[in-house]
Structure 1
């Protein structure tokens, strides 16, 4: 029996960054449906620069172990920089509010560094998701437009998951070990890893499943002219 696909307005409002998954994998047919949807994403000059590697099963598990070992050894090798120190004003405040809401849902105190680190490492375990997609990109100029194209692909991918009853989460941290991921997946060195998406079926019984991060009023982000 075919699962009904949500209308767009429902899809875009129900999409959340899921941090707890069931181990149940998607079928090959289900995976292909999502990938076909994402393939229709727009891109600058129709370059379609996304180079996507989907991992499951033992390949995914070995990558998880390798990323954790690399992280614990202090050997992060991101292709692109990331630091909370670069955020400022309300942008920084919202990032901290997001983290606070997540850890509060898990009952983890701000000063419980051991428990927080344990939850941090779950990023590398894909939050128990059965699949993950690593989004690589060629390097064009300053990379701004190609990175934007990858972002549009990722949004299409995430919305397709939601519309079809699945769940996903884009994870910057999955891009922090680009060297070992390139080597493991046979990706050429001239392709850069932007981030990864863990996906599958959401574990709706998890405490974090109840979280709904707030959104700003439209008038805060948009100015109308004319």
Structure 2
């Protein structure tokens, strides 16, 4: 592991060329944040190692308590990406779930359950899937493990001996990655779904048991023709989650 704790592991096949285009130079920080969305169908255009290294270098300016910089990143492309996809899909189809950690309480309380259902039904509607069509819903879920067609996947880990503060730090680092990607004409989809098969991810990427896999992330160019990419999940008004103390 490198001294600066960024520890970017590039798992590559043949070197990928630079993607076409120069990003969105007119995109302000405000626009980049306000128009960010989770993309669920990507174009196959490759993302170069140089591009992702540039994004991760800038993202590492994220704040971290007493400068811990607890994040580690595994980058998968080419055969490494495909091999991981095959292994996790096989585990999912065999019902061999191995949760890395509990993402949400069980049962999920309100209002969170309703919000979850609302975005889920909206996505299935864009896919053209009926609520009772469980087979199609399963196939849609498995597309997570194909990175929604993105040519590159990222996996974020940290040492499992660290506590809640480091989870906050890693979340801010991931947000930086998602916003910075847009400066290069790229989009992302954070994918905690991979953590439901954490054992397989550990094995395929040689992630030590002393690390927890926090999340995966698909990154690439958005497919503008995909109906599912038009989904904009609702956000509650500021007045519903903010109190001003004067």
Is the TM value for this pair above 0.5?
yes
Q: Please give the secondary structure, in 1, of the residue aligned with 2:111.
A: helix
Query: Is the 1:51–1:136 contact (alpha carbons within 8 Å) kept by the matching residues of 2?
Result: yes
Are 1:191 and 2:214 counterparts?
A: no
Query: Is the 1:132–1:199 contact (alpha carbons within 8 Å) kept by the matching residues of 2?
Result: yes
The 5-angstrom pairing of residues 31-180 of structure 1 reads 31-82=52-103, 85-140=106-161, 143-180=163-200
Q: Please give the secondary structure, in 1, of the residue aligned with 2:44.
A: coil
Shift of 1:72: 1.4
Report the Cα distance in structure 1 between the residues aligned to 2:78 and 2:183, rounded to whole angstroms: 24
Gaps spanning 5+ residues in structure 2: where?
1-20
Report the Cα distance in structure 1 between the residues aligned to 2:147 and 2:95, rounded to whole angstroms: 19
Structure with higher RCO (Cα < 8 A, 6+ apart): 1
Report the Cα distance in structure 1 between the residues aligned to 2:237 and 2:57, rounded to whole angstroms: 33
Report the Cα distance in structure 2 between the residues aligned to 1:25 and 1:86, rounded to whole angstroms: 40
Shift of 1:28: 2.5
Report the Cα distance in structure 1 between the residues aligned to 2:129 and 2:106, rounded to whole angstroms: 23
1:162–1:84 Cα change, 3 Å: farther
The 5-angstrom pairing of residues 13-28 of structure 1 reads 13-28=34-49
Q: Please give the secondary structure, in 1, of the residue aligned with 2:216.
A: strand
Q: Please give the secondary structure, in 2, of the residue aligned with 1:196.
A: strand
Report the Cα distance in structure 1 between the residues aligned to 2:112 and 2:156, rounded to whole angstroms: 25
Report the Cα distance in structure 1 between the residues aligned to 2:94 and 2:66, rounded to whole angstroms: 41
Superposed CA RMSD: 1.5
Q: Pick from 222, 226, 229: which aligns with 1:202?
A: 222
**More helix, by proportion:** 1
- How many residue pairs were aligned? 225
Report the Cα distance in structure 1 between the residues aligned to 2:231 and 2:183, rounded to whole angstroms: 19
1:217–1:163 Cα change, 3 Å: farther
Q: Please give the secondary structure, in 2, of the residue aligned with 1:89.
A: coil
